[in-house]
Structure formats: C-alpha cells, structure tokens
Structure 1
Amino acid sequence: MSRRRLFDAGTLRHWPLPSLGPGCDKESRGRVLVIAGSREIPGAALLSAQAALRAGAGKVRVATAQSVAMHVAVAMPELQVIGLPETREGGFDLAGLSLLDKALEQADVVLVGPGMQDEEAAIAFAQALRRRRPELPAIFDAAAMGAASRDPLPGPPVLVTPHAGEMAHLNGQTKASVLDDAEGAASEAARWWNSIVALKGSTTVIAEPHGDLWVHEAHNPGLATAGSGDVLAGLIAGFAARSASLVQAAAWGVAVHARAGERLAGRMGGMGFLASELLAEVPALVQGLAAAERGEAVRINRPTDAAPAIPVRRSAG
C-alpha cells in the first residue's frame, strides 16, 4: 500500500542520518564523485561539490570540462579535479569515461549533470556511466536527467531532480499541467522511469517507483535563483555519501536547503541572497537537527530556528 507523508526539517529529527560515531574519519564519511560544469557554467560544479562537503561528505572529486578544470581546482583547493575532453558543443566526450574508472571505483555516490551543456552528450555520458557502475547510488540532475527518462537503466533506481519546467520537457507535458498536479506528475514519472523523482518547487514531491510520496512545502521565493538547484543536488549527494538511502538523502537535502533559505530570508530579506550563501548555513543546521534527535540542548543563534515539525500522515489508500 503506497503512503503519502508530509515532512519538514522537524520531521528529520525522527529520521536521523546513519551515525558516524566520534572516531569517524574522512573515509567513513563517504566519497562523492561530482560530474558537472562546463566552460560556460563552471560554477555549478563548485556549488555542488561544496554543498556535498557542507553536508558532511569526507571527500569530493569533481570531473569537469578540461577547459575549466584548473580554474575549478584553484577556486576550491579541497577538491581533486579531473579534466574531461569536450565535444564541440561543450559537453563531455565519451572518450573521457576511462579517466573516471578509479574515481567511480572509490566513490560511494555519483552526481551527474549540474551545469553540463549539450543535452545529448550529457545523456549519453550518464547512461554510459550507469552501465559501467550500475550498483553505485546515482543522482542525475539538469541535462543528465534524460538518461533516466528515455531508456531503462540497469541497477537500482537512480534519483532525478527536475523542477516543473524540466519535468515538462522530459515527459512532454506543459509546465502548467505539471504544476497543476505535481504529485501525479512525479508519481507517474517515478513509475515509468523506475526512478526516484524529486520534483522541486514551493511544494517539492519525492516519489518512489512503488508509489510512496514524500511532500515538503516551503514558500520561499528567494530559493528560485541561479545555482540553488546545484546546491540542493550537492546536499543530496553529501547525505547519500554518509550512507543515507537516496530517498532519505533527498528528504534531508530538500528540508535543509529550504531551512537555509528561511534563515537567509530572515536576515537579508525574502529575495536577493545568493545560492552560494546557502552553503554556510548547512553545517549548523545539520548539527542542530542531529542534536535535537539525541535530546541535547543546542542553541544556534539564527532566526527561524524553531519551526515546528509537520506530522507524518498516511493516505487513505
């Protein structure tokens, strides 16, 4: 029987991330491989990679366009960066797959798509990656999402992260029809694509292939800004690296992303903050949620820290 659950950051206190323990090291916190960026949008790789680290991942490798790889490495010295050969249109050439064998072997989760150009090349690259490591937890974002919607993929369901416009592009609907029935659109896509679908918006719906739904409401227009989706994708990857399932990682990513936006809106106003400014809010939020689950009194001196939990609800079906 499928279930429909409402959740927010408060709910996560009762759905804690897998425990790392006081003696954990960067290896036990997990490795993320981020395949992202392009010569026109190199910042997407940086936003996703930093978000994964802020979520608690131990190590992050970035594979990005050869033309900007050195710039990405200099901009964020915490990363190991791999430069990939590019197509004429600015995508990643399949010839670069062999450069990722070691990184794929060592990764605990792979994120593909933020800031990638040349949709056809991105889809081909994501499909080839999945065939190479079908068991590896995978998140397909932006231009790479068509890899899940076009052809059946081997291995367990991947997670795709469209907003309404991207969903309309992927399934041939209008954006208005997706917005009119977000739960139905996400559920149908999850079933047909055999994927976990996180349909983003003021109401975000996480749909599983077998019918379960997770629904989050956050009316924060400030999050509708360039790079915000890259941050969310990176957060999900970081939580997944810490051994959360893709569904739990998506729920944590969505709720923490929304709460970070609420905090910035409380200090700076409802609109005008940058996606990169969300990142500094994440560690204290995650720590606060973990401490609350353990029953510890932790004071985080930020506005809107005491938003109430939304109860878990079952549908009549």
Structure 2
Amino acid sequence: MKSVTVDDLKKLYVPARGSHKGQNGRLLIIGGSHLFHAASLWALTVASRIVDLVHYSSVPENNELVVKAKEEFRNGIVVSREHLDDYIEEDDCILIGPGMERDKETETLTNSLLNKYPNKQWVIDAGALQMMDVSLIPPHVILTPHHGEFERLWAQCQMLNAKCQIENGSIEDKVKLFAKAYQCIVLLKGEKDIICTGEGCDPSGAKGSHPSVCRVIEGGNAGMTKGGTGDVLAGLIAALACKNDPFLATIAGSFINKQAGDALYARVGPYFNATDLASEIPVVMKDLLPAS
C-alpha cells in the first residue's frame, strides 16, 4: 500500500491573492451535545484557519453550548436548526458528528439529512458515524472511523451488502471493500492511518483512473491519543474538502495532522493537547504548501 508524501499535497487548493470572502470555502459543522461540549469547538477552531466561513449548528435546547460558541468562536457564525437547510444548500461541505451523542436524536437527524441531501459533500465522524444507516451513505462521502467504529460499520455491511463478503481478510482488505461497496472514502484512524476510496480517483484528481485506491499514512505519537485530536482531524479534512477532491482532502488532512503532532512531540514530548494541535496545523501547512 503506497504511502503519502509531501508531493501528494502539491495539488491542494491555495487561496489566490485576489480572492474574496466565500471563494476559499464555506463549511457547516453540525455537532455538540449536552455531554460533549468541546469536541465540535476543536473542529471549528482548526477549520476557521483554513476556509473563509464556518457555520456551526448544535442541539437547539443546549443554550449553554450555543452561548459558549458565540463567546469563544468569533471566527464563525452559530446557526439554529431552523435554518440548517439554508446553510446545507449554500455551503461547500458539511461535517456532522463531533460531540454528538449516540442516541435517537443523532440517528434521526443524521439519516434524515443524508437522505435529503445525497449530493452534498459530507464528512461523517463520531456520534453521527456510529448512528447512521449505512444504506444511506452517499457517493464520495468521507467517513473517519477509529477501529471500533469501523468494525461496527463492517458488521452492518456484511449483513446488508454482498460486496462485503470476505473470509480471513486483513483490515486493509476490509477498508478497501467497504469503500468500494458504498463508493465512499474511508479513513481508518490509528498509529497508521489507512485511507481507501471506491470511486477510483487519485490525489491528482483523476477520477475513474483506477478501480480503487488505498493509501497509508505513517506517524503519530503518544500525544495524539488525547481527547479531541480526532475532532481536530475531522475539522481539518472537512475544511480541505470544501475546495479539493475529497480523497485528496482526506489523505492530505491525515498527513498534515500527523506532521503537526510529530512537530509538537519534537518540542514538548507527549505533553500537548487538542488545542495545541489545532494551533500547530497552520504552521505545518505554511511549511508544506506552496504560497499563492
């Protein structure tokens, strides 16, 4: 399985000097709950460094979270669920799941939105990933499971989809088959990230050039086990997906995230958190990406 290198990032979109507000990406993040207050804010923080506009929608009855977002997240707009459809239609990408609980409300919201907007670019993470109906996965959606979440997805796939039948297959084989079965992009998170797409694209954006593509991203360290680092990754990938091919956005996000974690580890060892990671990502991107 081919590794991702700095050369793969050369095709990433870089804002032009003469661009205007909104031209460099519009992202909607749906997340947060009574239980998990900070998760979606970590995703918001990193995304606001990359795209022009970040919109955020949380549970309507969670007034404390909404107030907190308005006080602390001044680089975006908090929107009510009543206006969710307007922002889904306008924005380039929707990230759903960070900080959402595994409950009926998350299940209903996630599945209804996937069913209503199958042609939008989605990144599905955390609570939404755990509660979604796999039969509603739209083409080119980006899924970001850890190993436990992927095993649950795989079990559903085996029950519902003939393309997920394999005996004694490796985890790489399973990720590849799942991506092919649902024509989606799967990022299996771990010390070694495995990313597969079923649409046959490559980082150059040449869709249809391969029956399937899988890449691996090595790296990471003990500091990356901290709570919230996965939310940072989801926000990073979703922001990149606003202006890039979704497979390129996913492999680039994984690579940049690990590079940022390793840079922090080189300075402070494992003694950093998700906030530190979100702040380090723009520094790494400046070093890795060409100037406009």
TM range (shorter): 0.7 to 0.9
Matched, 1:187 2:176: yes
**Structure 1 residues 166-210: Cα deviation after superposition (integer angstroms, max 9, x where no partner):** 11232239xxxxxx9331221122123332100011111111114
Asked if the contact 1:140/1:161 (under 8 Å) is kept, the reply is yes
**Which amino acid counterpart does residue 230 of structure 2 have in structure 1?**
G
Quote the residue 1:226 is aligned against. Answer: 227
Quote the residue 2:197 is aligned against. Answer: 208
Give the Cα separation in 2 of the matches to 1:172 and 1:135: 26
Matched, 1:117 2:101: yes
Aligned residue runs from structure 1 range 254-293, under 5 A: 254-269=254-269, 271-291=270-290
Asked if the contact 1:149/1:193 (under 8 Å) is kept, the reply is no
Asked if the contact 1:225/1:274 (under 8 Å) is kept, the reply is yes
Shift of 1:158: 0.7
Matched, 1:140 2:124: yes
Q: TM-score, normalised on structure 2? A: 0.84
Aligned residue runs from structure 1 range 1-317, under 5 A: 4-8=1-5, 10-13=6-9, 15-54=10-49, 56-66=50-60, 67=62, 68-83=65-80, 96=81, 98-146=82-130, 150-154=134-138, 156-172=139-155, 181-209=170-198, 210-241=211-242, 243-269=243-269, 271-291=270-290
Give the Cα separation in 2 of the matches to 1:46 and 1:219: 22
SS of 2:258's partner is helix
Identity percentage of aligned residues: 29
Give the Cα separation in 2 of the matches to 1:240 and 1:166: 22
Shift of 1:147: 6.0
Q: How many residues align?
A: 265
SS of 1:197's partner is strand
SS of 2:284's partner is helix
Give the Cα separation in 2 of the matches to 1:273 and 1:263: 11
Consecutive aligned runs of 4 or more in structure 1 exceeding 6 Å deviation? none
Give the Cα separation in 2 of the matches to 1:212 and 1:148: 24
Q: TM-score, normalised on structure 1? A: 0.78
Shift of 1:150: 2.6
Is there any run of 5+ residues in structure 2 with no aligned partner, and where? 157-168, 199-210
**Structure 1 residues 217-256: Cα deviation after superposition (integer angstroms, max 9, x where no partner):** 1141211110010000000011112x10111111111011
Give the Cα separation in 1 of the matches to 2:104 and 2:238: 23
What CA RMSD, in Å, does the superposition of the two structures yield over aligned residues? Answer: 2.1
Distance 1:18 1:35, change over 3 A: same
**Structure 1 residues 249-301: Cα deviation after superposition (integer angstroms, max 9, x where no partner):** 111110111011011101111x2310110111122221221238x8xxxxxxx
Is there any run of 5+ residues in structure 1 with no aligned partner, and where? 84-95, 174-179, 295-317
SS of 1:291's partner is coil
Asked if the contact 2:27/2:93 (under 8 Å) is kept, the reply is yes
Shift of 1:61: 0.4
